[in-house]
Amino acid sequence: QVIDFFEIKPDIELNLMMHDQTLGKLSSKIIESMESVFNEVKPDIVIVQGDTTTAFLTAFVAFYQKIKIGHVEAGLRTYNKFSPFPEEINRQLLSKITDLHFAPTKSARKNLLREGFNKKSIILTGNTIVDAMEWGIKKINDYNFLKKSEEINNLEKIVDIKKKIILVTMHRRE
């Protein structure tokens, strides 16, 4: 649904997710799959976003193959390795192998500088989640989209979308 909404057309679908999968099993699948992808595609740079296990391990495989790494949402920190778990450790380990740090906020940039990363490797980008939300709102407000989208038309029957809507994103496994 998200891929369709944002009009993303993946070139490769790995189909890694399974119900009740452990992080260990997911990790081994990611490493094996991304190694095959990189051997086939031979990228000059790999750009990962976020602090997921998928982002970290994809970058880790790129590191093993000496491929440059760009990290979108770099520098976010709690400095508590268990909160959020395992994302905080993913963030910190990912930073160690990243070549280009795309920091969403000034405080994320400061974290990276405080940790000793070269300021030339840090680019302040803004928040991609906010950008995606603004793009989505514009798309929803586009009359042509509303007219074409059965899902949105059905939503209008349930919710008055002309009123303010609160968007909550939740993505914790727990």
Q: Which residues are catalytic?
A: 171
Beta strands in the chain (DSSP E): 45-49, 68-72, 100-103, 122-124
Element (H, E) at 143: helix 143-148
Distance of alpha carbon 171 from alpha carbon 174, whole angstroms: 9
**Within 13 Å, how many C-alpha atoms sit on residue 161's CB side?**
16
> In what side-by-side order are the strands of the sheet with 100-103?
45-49, 68-72, 100-103, 122-124
Distance of alpha carbon 5 from alpha carbon 21, whole angstroms: 27
